[in-house]
Amino acid sequence: MAVNDKSPAVQGKAEVPENSAPPASADPSKAVLKTSRRDFLRGGGMLSLSSLMGTAALMSHSSDARAAIEWAEHFQKNYRLMTPEEKNEARIRLEKRYSAEYGKTVTVDTTEAQPGVLMGYALNVRKCIGCRRCVKACVAENNQTRGTRPGERIEWIQVLRMERGEFSKEKMDHGYPEGLGIQVGGNAYTPAGQVLEGQYHYEPEAVPEKDATYMPIACMQCEKPPCVKVCPVRTTYREADGPVVIDYNWCIGCRMCMGACPYWARRINVANPVLPKEEMNPVTHYLGNRPRMRGVVEKCHWCLQRTRQGRYPACVEVCPVGARKFGNLLDPESEVSLILARKNVFRLKAELNTFPKFFYFYD
């Protein structure tokens, strides 16, 4: 009986000759799918099983607004496969849920990428004074967890403090191996120029310190992101205007992306996120700063809720020295394009061929 039910579908697929199939595309909207996930679940036994489990989960859960929404989220598609109507449904559902949870009107934006925009970022490493204001601005904007217990505090930007090396006459021929004098100015023990081991937990009374340089590191929004390559559920992907984003609802928390990222940019919510109601930022984007749940990975997305509406990212706006620059790489008049044209620019770990859209420069 069951075989007979399925047979038309099998025959339909078999009729398509193999050589006429379009080439495989990384874009899921172009993927050839005969049945969607929803259609599949609609089939008899799976639905009854799922709904029973869902009911059980609902009954065991604490009685808040979140539980009612989780029911619908259980059947939600991957964000990239959703139709505009389904995205709108998801938006309304989340707005209702977050508004009840945080006691204020929360908006969840679903604005798509605009044509003719490729976001780019540039940072002047010579200017950075290591004050960490960008780090805290990011937390204020992007609804990260901010508890006190281990794993309850997440910051997307790390500021790396690096000591300056030294050139001194008496150490000139102290190379490695000892006595050979193979390196001029600095050696394996006291390198010249930058010392590669940096410190994240520096805490001086005042910055900038005289013998230190600072290097903020966050997501580089690579053009060829290793994290996207490894994601087993394809929940992280590159948006058309540049940023690499995450659909938090489909993240399974496997941390493959964290291992793949060469820039230490991704964070996981190992504990239940701690986000006080009064500190919560009510202007959110679905792929951006909406509150996350436990067990999902998050990272910088260039403040999508701001940049899609034309505003600078939060870190750009608070940098007291104006070291952070943001703009459209396709606009030759934009700040980032002018920096690329005029200044000395480098990418972090360029040898990995990840092609970041985050550029470091100095003048």
Partner 1 sequence: MNKLATYTLVLAFCVGAYYAAVAAEKTTEPAKEEAAQAAPAEAAKEPVVCFESRKGASEITQREIQPGWPNVKCSPTTGAALWYGDPFDGTVPMGKMPLLDKIPEGHALVKPRSEKLAILPMCGTACHNGVGPAFSPPKLPKDKKAVPIPTMEGLLPEVKDLQHGRGRIWCLDCHHTTQRNKLVDHYGDPISFDQPQLLCGKCHGDKLRDWRDGIHGKRIGEWASTGKKRWFTCTECHNPHNVQDGARNKGFVQLQPEPPPQLPMGMKDGKHEKLHPIAH
Least distance (Å) from partner 1 to the CB of residue 175?
13
Tokens of 337: 């394009």
Q: How far apart are CA 307 and CA 327, in angstroms?
A: 9
Nearest to partner 1 of 226, 242 (CB atom)? 242
Phi–psi pair at 138, nearest 5 degrees: -60, -40
Rounding to the nearest 10 degrees, give the CA dihedral for residues 242, 247, 248, 253.
-90
Give Cα separations from 143 to 67, 153, 186, 220, 283 (angstroms): 21, 11, 45, 20, 10
Nearest to partner 1 of 12, 320 (CB atom)? 320
Nearest to partner 1 of 26, 196 (CB atom)? 196
**DSSP assignment string, 110-152:** -PPPPTT--EEEEEETTT-----HHHHHHHHHHT--B-SSTT-
Nearest to partner 1 of 85, 203 (CB atom)? 203
Q: How far apart are CA 47 and CA 32, in angstroms?
A: 24
Nearest to partner 1 of 54, 253 (CB atom)? 54
Least distance (Å) from partner 1 to the CB of residue 320?
4
Nearest to partner 1 of 51, 110 (CB atom)? 51
Rounding to the nearest 10 degrees, give the CA dihedral for residues 213, 141, 27, 231.
70
Least distance (Å) from partner 1 to the CB of residue 219?
16
The residue count for the chain: 363
Least distance (Å) from partner 1 to the CB of residue 342?
7
Least distance (Å) from partner 1 to the CB of residue 150?
4
Q: How far apart are CA 242 and CA 223, in angstroms?
A: 7
Burial class (CB in 10 A: 0-12, 13-18, 19+), 25: exposed
**DSSP assignment string, 22-50:** PPP-S-GGGS--SS-HHHHHHSHHHHHHH
Nearest to partner 1 of 94, 228 (CB atom)? 94
Least distance (Å) from partner 1 to the CB of residue 295?
18
Q: How far apart are CA 312 and CA 329, in angstroms?
A: 14
Least distance (Å) from partner 1 to the CB of residue 56?
10
Least distance (Å) from partner 1 to the CB of residue 196?
9
Nearest to partner 1 of 153, 234 (CB atom)? 153
Least distance (Å) from partner 1 to the CB of residue 345?
12
Least distance (Å) from partner 1 to the CB of residue 122?
9
Nearest to partner 1 of 34, 201 (CB atom)? 201
Q: How far apart are CA 258 and CA 54, in angstroms?
A: 30
Nearest to partner 1 of 27, 363 (CB atom)? 363
Strand partners, 120: 327
Q: How far apart are CA 347 and CA 357, in angstroms?
A: 8
